Structure 1
Amino acid sequence: MDMRKPYPSDLTDEQWALAEPVITAWKAQHPSVSGHQGKYAMREIVNAILYQNRTGCQWEFLPHDMPPPGAVKYYFYLWRDDGTDQTVHDLLRWHLREKKKRLADPSLIVMDTQSIHVSVGVPATTTGRDAAKRVPGRKRCLAVDTLGLVVEAVVLPASAHDNAAGTALLDGVAAQTDRVEKALVDQGFKKTVVDHGKRYGIDVEIVERNPADTGFVPQAKRWIIEQTNGILMFYRRLVRDYEHRPASSRSRVFWAMTSVMARRLTGSTLASWRTA
């Protein structure tokens, strides 16, 4: 890494060591046509992606002491399309689960959706209006384990029913692991999702809300996904959906959680904008 003053979002040496094997292996498999190793260090490319995720800046507003926007965009889109972003993310998730004395993949997941506004310029064909929550935009759908770590993420128009979100999440989870036995969901998910889970041997339980409850009341085990949604809100690129393609929005979730897990694995913290 060039000798520059680090930004708070930069990976430390210890954190970079967690992701570096995947990135180095990827680089070895994708040599340039001319045979050179590239002008920019891969660690700096990753740092630039994490900086943008945390600050929410536009591509052209990346700091001058980082690789140019064109180079960062090139790798962001390439890693999004070939799944390298998720490979790095999943590796850290497995490490963190094992550090917590858990098996690499969970047997229980929690699924939920969150409707978010989109930025000006996001194609209308990829957005919709969530009539129940009165939010025009997109629906961010997550499946997390009991530690709040993301197992799968799907981004749909906000008008999509939770059934569509649930079936897509189950498809993604089942494609990754056959260990998941149970999924907890709220009452927005219906029998369609329950039946879809049976195809994969996953028992989907719709957790009923206590009619006597008023306001927000955390539900046992299901509350962890609300914590994950709250953590993602510290990453300003995720507060509103700025991405033209839902696949990019999904990638942003993986990069945000990669940052979170790298800090947890190394016992470090990152100050929020609410920190005095």
Structure 2
Amino acid sequence: MSDRMPYSSDVCDEQWALIEPVITAWKAGHPSASGHRGKYTMREIVNAVLYQNRSGCQWDLLPHDLPPAGAVKYYFYKWRDDGTDQTIHDLLRWQLREKKRRLADPSLIILDTQSVHASVGVPATTTGKDAAKKVPGRKRCLAVDVLGLVIDCVVLPACAHENAAGIALLDSVAGQCDTVTKALVGQGFKKKVADHGKNLGIDVEIVERNPADKGFIPQAKRWIVEQTNGILMFYRRLVRDYEHRPASSRSRVLWAMTSVMSRRLTGRTIASWRTA
């Protein structure tokens, strides 16, 4: 650990012990052509990614006592493109599920979408306008388990229909979790999603809202994905979509959940804006 003053988003020794084996293996598999081991420690690179995720700052506004933006970008994009961020995320999810006395992969998932505004610099070709929610930007589509842990995430233009989001999520989940047999979705998803799920061996149940209910009434199990969306909003980089590529937006979700799960596994907490 460096001798700088720590940020609340930093990984502690116990958290780093969960992440380090993956990073160390990656580093061993990507030696420098010159034999140079790098000026910055991998732990500080991870701390910089988590700091930006939590604070929402621009690349050039990373604190001077963290590695410079160029170095952090290099690893963030490398890990995004080769799936290292996914590997770290999935390993922590399996450990947390097993800690809760559940199988590593779920049989039941809950699907939902969230439309978020896009920043000015985001390419118009990857955004759209959600006609129902009047939100110009991107649509973040989550599949979570009953613990609220993200199984997969798909990022689409906000104009994409819920059916497109549901089909993309089901395809992605089926490709990595052959244990999923049931999915709960909201009324925005239609029969087309249910039919697609049937082809994948997943029973898709559309949870109907009681017409007599007034205001927000949590629906059993379905509310869990809303809770996850709320947790992600603590990570200010996710409040608005600043990423030029949807793949980067997806990676931000994985890093946010990596922070959440590593804290749950080690019993650590992080102050929120609600903390007095």
Aligned to 1:212: 212
Letter in 2 for 1:181: T
Aligned to 1:258: 258
- 1:230-269 alignment, distance < 5 Å: 230-269=230-269
2:63 is the alignment partner of 1:42 = no
Query: C-alpha separation between the residues in 2 aligned to 1:158 and 1:129?
Result: 5
Aligned to 2:91: 91
Question: Which segment drifts farther, 190-199 or 223-232?
Answer: 190-199
Aligned to 1:63: 63
- 1:20-169 alignment, distance < 5 Å: 20-169=20-169
Letter in 1 for 2:105: D
* CA-to-aligned-CA distance 1:189-230 (integer Å, 9 cap, x gap): 111111111122100000011011122111000000000000
Query: Residue 32 of structure 1 aligns to a residue in which SS?
Result: coil
Query: C-alpha separation between the residues in 1 aligned to 2:34 and 2:262?
Result: 34
Aligned to 1:15: 15
Query: C-alpha separation between the residues in 1 aligned to 2:8 and 2:85?
Result: 21
Q: Which stretches of structure 1, 4 residues or longer, exceed 3 Å deviation after superposition?
A: none
Aligned to 2:271: 271
Query: Residue 151 of structure 1 aligns to a residue in which SS?
Result: strand
Letter in 1 for 2:262: A
Query: Residue 183 of structure 1 aligns to a residue in which SS?
Result: strand
Q: TM-score, normalised by structure 1?
A: 0.99
Query: C-alpha separation between the residues in 1 aligned to 2:209 and 2:200?
Result: 26
Letter in 2 for 1:182: K
Query: C-alpha separation between the residues in 2 aligned to 1:194 and 1:219?
Result: 19
Query: C-alpha separation between the residues in 1 aligned to 2:138 and 2:167?
Result: 17
Q: TM-score, normalised by structure 2?
A: 0.99
Q: For this pair of structures, how many residues does the alignment match?
A: 276
Aligned to 1:221: 221
Ranges in structure 2 where 5+ consecutive residues have no aligned partner? none
Query: Residue 269 of structure 1 aligns to a residue in which SS?
Result: coil
Query: C-alpha separation between the residues in 1 aligned to 2:2 and 2:144?
Result: 36
Give the share of equivalent positions with the same residue, in percent: 82
User: Residue 241 of structure 1: CA displacement?
Assistant: 0.5
* CA-to-aligned-CA distance 1:147-204 (integer Å, 9 cap, x gap): 0000000000000000110011011111111000100000111111111111221000
Alignment root-mean-square deviation, CA: 0.6
Query: C-alpha separation between the residues in 2 aligned to 1:269 and 1:87?
Result: 23
Query: C-alpha separation between the residues in 2 aligned to 1:16 and 1:159?
Result: 39
User: Residue 2 of structure 1: CA displacement?
Assistant: 1.9
Query: C-alpha separation between the residues in 1 aligned to 2:107 and 2:36?
Result: 45
Query: Residue 110 of structure 1 aligns to a residue in which SS?
Result: strand
Aligned to 2:181: 181
Query: C-alpha separation between the residues in 2 aligned to 1:189 and 1:79?
Result: 32
Query: Residue 154 of structure 2 aligns to a residue in which SS?
Result: strand
User: Residue 66 of structure 1: CA displacement?
Assistant: 0.7
* CA-to-aligned-CA distance 1:69-120 (integer Å, 9 cap, x gap): 0000000011001110011000000000000000000000000000010111
2:34 is the alignment partner of 1:3 = no
Query: Residue 265 of structure 1 aligns to a residue in which SS?
Result: helix
* CA-to-aligned-CA distance 1:116-159 (integer Å, 9 cap, x gap): 10111111111111111111111000000000000000000000
User: Residue 39 of structure 1: CA displacement?
Assistant: 1.2
User: Residue 35 of structure 1: CA displacement?
Assistant: 1.5
Query: Residue 136 of structure 2 aligns to a residue in which SS?
Result: strand
User: Residue 20 of structure 1: CA displacement?
Assistant: 0.5
Aligned to 2:202: 202
